[in-house]
Amino acid sequence: MTALTVHSSRDGHDAYGDDDDAYDEDAHDGDAHDEDGYMGAAVLEIDGRSLPVRGRLAGYFQPLDGRYHWYGRLQADAELAELVGSGRADAVLRTPHGQATGTLGDPDLWQRYRIEGVGRPPFPVPVSVVHRID
């Protein structure tokens, strides 16, 4: 499982632009193409405001509750820190693949916020069905 790291992209490019080489999917040796996860641009909607961000998301199916749990980490961002502070907040995270409601948690020592949610994630999840022929 991989953590999410999100960078702000306030350089005048569209919210889904891939101009930051540090988070270019092709620049990472396999990280961007993990089986269930997403790395790239996103938009975080919180308290009626939209913040363009970049990051990495991952998740897993939890058999104990029968639901998909997704999570990630948002990089330090002054505007996000002003909105959330050191507490928790609900937000919607949108990627080019979809959107999902999640909860932002306390920032870590580097002021990166964790986001987590349950249910359909804002990225595609591969599903395989195995048919057994007897």
Q: For 49-64, what is each residue's pLDDT tens digit? A: 999 888 889 999 999 9
Contact assessment for residue 21 and residue 27, using Cβ atoms and an 8 Å cutoff:
yes
Q: For 90-107, what is each residue's pLDDT tens digit? A: 999 999 999 999 999 988
Q: How confident is the model at residue 127 (pLDDT cuts 50, 70, 90)?
A: confident
The mean of the pLDDT values for the chain is 76
Contact assessment for residue 45 and residue 92, using Cβ atoms and an 8 Å cutoff:
yes
pLDDT at 12 over 80: no
The dihedral through the CA atoms of 120, 123, 124, 125 has a sign that is negative
What Cα–Cα distance (Å) separates residue 81 from each residue in 64, 73, 125?
Answer: 34, 13, 30
Region of 108 please: left (phi>0), alpha (psi -120 to 50) or beta: beta
